[in-house]
Amino acid sequence: AAAASPPPDAEVTFVLPAGRRECFYQAAPGNASMEAEYQVIGGAGLDVDFSLESPSGRLLARERRRSDGAHTVEPTEAGDYKLCFDNSFSAISEKLVFFELLFDSARPGEEEEEEEEEEEEEGEGWPEALEPEDALDVKIEDIKESIETMRSRLERSIQVQTLLRAFEARDRNLQESNLGRVNFWSAVNLAVLVLVATVQVRLLKSLFQDKRPVRT
């Protein structure tokens, strides 16, 4: 399980009905790294309850009435992680929830890390004795390392852009909701003003009318 490659990153957007609780399961290899991030991008209050459990049933995180959150599990257990979103506290409003799961490669064990450190220490003492072919291999390894670093940074940039799109969607939904409320109450205030103006005009006219009977 420790040598298994991590699953691909996952992104999910779903509607959580009022008074409901939804759970998702994600398989993960052992001795890796998993990051779970969520964002409530629609619905009244923009909040939800969240919980994260390990494959052994241990509660790793629990949050109440939050609009967003991020949790990192390192190292992971081999098995299915359980992510739950709870909207049971809301009896009317449904929520639009976005979450993503990010995985990193399995981390080497302590023995492998020690071997790598020993190799690095040994390699520091004989760079001048390298043959041309060995130097070429070292350069190729440096290029591969640079490419791998660039790839990881590009992946992180994509993840940040995804989170920014989620924030943008949440802000847009909030602005549209506020715009609808402003338009509604503006219309109500306008109707009340017209009604009050009409009543006042009629009242003033009635004060100046002579209602005494005319004798001929």
Q: What 3 state SS string does the chain have?
A: CCCCCCCCCEEEEEEECCCCEEEEEEEECCCCEEEEEEEEEECHHHCEEEEEECCCCCEEEEEEEECEEEEEECCCCCEEEEEEEECCCCCCCCEEEEEEEEEECCCCCHHHHHHHHHHHHHHHCCCCCCCHHHHHHHHHHHHHHHHHHHHHHHHHHHHHHHHHHHHHHHHHHHHHHHHHHHHHHHHHHHHHHHHHHHHHHHHHHHHHCCCCCCCC
Cis geometry, peptide bond prior to residue 7 (ω within 30 degrees of 0): no
Neighbours of 86 (CB within 10 A): 19
Backbone angles phi, psi at 143, to 5 degrees: -65, -45
Model confidence at 2, pLDDT cuts 50, 70, 90, reads: very low
**pLDDT tens digits for range 55-92:** 999 999 999 999 889 999 988 999 999 999 999 998 88
- Which pLDDT value is given to residue 1? 40
* Position 13 pLDDT exceeds 60: yes
Task: Let me know if 87 is exposed, middle or buried by CB neighbors in 10 A (0-12, 13-18, 19+).
Answer: buried
Using an 8 Å Cβ cutoff, are 41 and 170 in contact? yes
Using an 8 Å Cβ cutoff, are 76 and 34 in contact? yes
**pLDDT tens digits for range 187-197:** 899 999 999 98
Model confidence at 26, pLDDT cuts 50, 70, 90, reads: very high
**Is the pTM for the entire model greater than 0.85?**
no
Query: Average of pLDDT values for 204-214?
Result: 72
**pLDDT tens digits for range 92-119:** 889 989 998 988 865 544 445 555 555 5
- Which pLDDT value is given to residue 144? 77
